[in-house]
Amino acid sequence: MRSLLVLALASCGSTSETTTGSGSSSTGSGTTVVTVASNLAANDPAADVIEKVFRKRPAFPLLSKDGRSAVVEIVTPVARSGGSTYSVGFVTAGADAWSGGEIDLTTLVDGMLLALLVEARESGTAATYDVEAVTGQVKGITSRISDGGFTPFESMVESSTGKAAGPFRFKVTDDPTGAITIDVTEGAKTIKTETIAPISTGLIADVECLAKPRVRRVFADTPRRRLLVHIGWTLPAQCDPPDDKYRLYAPT
């Protein structure tokens, strides 16, 4: 049974829809910055690992001082395990691909470790894993965040239609096919127009698992002139969605 669980968890890498909380705070300079609750639920088996290895987990997403990259957390619920894998990714500004192809990813809780965590929880025992190795990965992440002067974005927009976001205007147009077209403008200048198509992840019990993209959150920063877009997916409940995506827009 354990080997089957490990195989199922290790081979699955899709993300489900989650709800996050948010708020705002003011810095000493008077700039208001957005703070966002983690995508990782407190009862998730991975949470115990993450809380242990991070002295203080950053309030992702964050933007580097020079605006060249953003750092995000990617929480990926796995099958029906009740747990998630957990990664931290650095997304480059202005890349022509979404984060699936343009992200420097460090996975702290992978499928194999999650399998051990789930099994330990079910048996009422403590999971045994290499804490020092995971802590070492975290030190690399936090050092990079510190060296790059990463700080929170200035604001967040929940809605996805025709909203002002920092110095930009962000618009999403729905297509009958389930695709969405994103338009980002700054004044009269078009920063980017692109279409994100639905993704088919196969069939389950004769139901087509067609994942339709939707904008979950948009983070803006006026001083650094950056816009971070977070894309999630909607699809039938029995289907596993693709990974959430991130895109950091930058004027050229």
Q: What's the pLDDT at 24?
A: 42
Q: What does each C-alpha distance from 99 to 71, 93, 103, 247 come to in angstroms?
A: 11, 10, 5, 6
pLDDT of residue 135: 95
Contact 239, 211 (CB under 8 A): yes
pLDDT tens, N- to C-terminus, the chain (252 residues): 333 333 334 334 333 333 333 444 433 434 334 444 467 788 889 998 999 999 888 999 999 999 999 999 988 777 667 788 899 999 998 776 665 556 889 999 998 999 999 999 899 998 899 999 999 999 999 999 999 999 999 988 775 556 788 888 889 999 999 999 999 999 889 998 989 999 988 888 788 889 899 998 899 999 999 999 998 888 887 777 777 889 999 887
Residue in the structure block whose two tokens are 């700039």:
31
Q: Model-level pTM?
A: 0.80
CA distances from 175 to 57, 63, 180, 209, 236 (A): 38, 31, 6, 18, 19
